[in-house]
Structure 1
Amino acid sequence: MLLGLAGVGLFAGFLAGLFGIGGGIVIVPALYAVFGLIGVPEEERIKVAVATSLATIIVTSLRSVSSHMKHGAVDMALLKRWAPWIGLGAIAGAIAARVIPAEALTLIFALGALGVAIRKGLFRSREKEQASELAPVPGGPIAAALGGGIGLLSSLMGIGGGVLGVIVLTAYGRTIHQAIATSAGFGLAIAVPGTLGFIGSGWGVNGLPPLTIGYVSLPAFALIAAMTFLTAPLGATLAHRLDKGILNRVFAIYLGITALLLLREALI
């Protein structure tokens, strides 16, 4: 089990750097399975998986965004303007998770993951690799709606916001590399308040694994975070060298299968 978690951490860290995701799209299903094996009640299992995933994304995002900044690809103006709204959305998601039934939370993750798989698998990337005309950085109500929505959905799913962020940022004229790099920064704005929210909402809940603070499992966090710390820079470096069309499709197949299995778990 420990070796499996270490492998998940290595893989998730690499994907975080390569695709600008927080790694949660890989970590949540793995943790859900592991916590099921050790007897965590079903009604709390998905919440511990999501919360622990968010905690690991703090480390992953720090490592990934620092690597992308060396390439000058992070849009700091947009990141600073959206970060407060993303953080507020993440807190709202963490608080809501306490009252959302486990089946509904599993369904949210499964449908979100399936949507990502369909987009990555069926649609060829239209993003231009050369800098295009940039749309103005959205502010005011638009920034609140987009940032808050990304934070809310990402917190409920236990992901770093990279997938949603790339879709939105490429729509505003950022190249795929700029979108991936900036979305890595979204992960930090989501993971810190989201983790704190899950710690608070899970405080005093019965039936959680040993060495758990709120909904966050400390042993799983420590092992996975250590592994992602090693591989996130490798993925970020490779992201600036490869055409990711084939990789996107392979990842989509894996993600689609995982999403369907979780969907079955939620509905049956």
Structure 2
Amino acid sequence: MALEYILAFLLLGGLVGVMAGLLGIGGGALMVPMLTSIFAVMGVANDVIVHLALGTSMACIIVTSISSLKSHHNRGGVLWPIVKAMVPGILIGTFVATFIAAKTEPLYLALFFALFMSYVSIQMFINKQPKPDKSVGGNGELIATGSGIGAISALVSIGGGTLTVPYLVWRNIEMTKAIGTSAACGFPIAVAGTLGYILNGYNEGVAQDYTLGFVYWPAVVLISITSYFTAPIGVKLAHTLPVATLKKLFAVFVVIISIKMVMTVLG
């Protein structure tokens, strides 16, 4: 791999780590469009470029989700009964959705990603929170909800926090425990999504060394290394910088790079 690509992946990981620590967001919103741009420069074929970005991003989330999960668990912020109830639906929904993604044209995947991230960005910009309703439902509701969250998460390669946290808050779970429980749910999403993208891309013949299915492992390693070390920096900055203003700026940035992603696929 050329030095400029190594540096690009290291810098991307550093940025993802800082943003995750500072704003409490997952890396997929940044990684998928940025990876698409890097892969385009590397000469990855347009018919697999978005799939490779989605699979690679999902594999990166495994590492970040473990770190986040441990941190929240140590602080007593994970409601494990809810996690256990949602996991079967999460695993099924995430894994099945990778098959849908594999059969979807890259342009449509890019458009779906851009539209979804635009919606998330608007919610972040106006800082709208759902009004709490009655308490969490039974296992049937949690399995169904987990399935839907997993499916959407796989299609846009995120850890599910933008969906899980609002759902849990709506179900009268306090914000800190909603975030911690969502972080724990991010791990099975990442594992099932990564396995699905590996399996679905196995016979696609992605012309890139060190690629397994739709996962480019050098990028996973390099991004994970720097994001691991920069996430604590973001946490420290969260106590000194105007996070509310930064969230709005980040929301605008996500929309811009999502649009650029669509333009990259269009060529």
TM-score of the two chains, using structure 1 as the length reference = 0.88
**Cα distance between partner residues in 2 of 1:18 and 1:136:** 30
Post-superposition Cα deviations, 1:224-263, rounded to whole Å, max 9, x if no partner, equal 1112222334545766898742232121111121222234
The separation in 2 between residues aligned to 1:154 and 1:195, in whole angstroms, is: 12
Determine the structure 1 residue equivalent to 2:43. Answer: 39
1:225 aligns with 2:224: yes
Match for 1:118 among 118, 122, 135? 122
**How has the CA–CA distance of structure 1 residues 86 and 17 changed in structure 2, closer, same or farther, with 3 Å as cutoff?**
farther
Deviation, structure 1 residue 7: 1.5
Which whole-Å CA distance do the structure 2 matches of 1:2 and 1:12 have between them? 15
Question: How well do the aligned residues superpose, as a CA RMSD in angstroms?
Answer: 2.4
CA contact (8 A) 1:75 1:178 kept: yes
Unaligned runs of 5+ in 2: none
In the alignment, which residue of structure 1 is the partner of 2:214?
Answer: 215
The change in CA–CA distance for 1:149 and 1:79 in structure 2 (over 3 A counts) is same
Q: Which amino acid aligns with 2:69?
A: V
Distance 1:85 1:232, change over 3 A: farther
Corresponding residue for residue 60 of structure 1: 64
Query: Is the contact between residue 37 and residue 261 of structure 2 (CA under 8 Å) also seen in structure 1?
Result: no
Aligned residues: 263
Query: Is the counterpart of residue 6 in structure 1 residue 14 in structure 2?
Result: no
Q: Would the alpha carbon gap of residues 267 and 45 (structure 1) be closer, same or farther in structure 2, given more than 3 Å must change?
A: closer
Which residue type is aligned with residue 14 of structure 2?
L
Note closer, same or farther for the CA distance 1:222–1:57 as it changes in structure 2 (3 Å cut). Answer: same
Structure 2: how far apart are the matches of 1:126 and 1:55?
29
Is 1:100 matched with 2:104? Answer: yes
Query: What is the CA–CA distance in structure 2 between the aligned matches of 1:184 and 1:240, rounded to whole Å?
Result: 21
Aligned amino acid, residue 72 of structure 1: G
Q: Please give the alpha-carbon distance, in whole angstroms, between the structure 2 residues aligned to 1:216 and 1:117.
A: 27
- Matched with 2:247 is 248
- Structure-2 change in CA distance of 1:96 and 1:200 (3 Å): same
Q: How far apart are 1:165 and its partner, in Å?
A: 1.4
What is the match of residue 76 of structure 1? Answer: 80
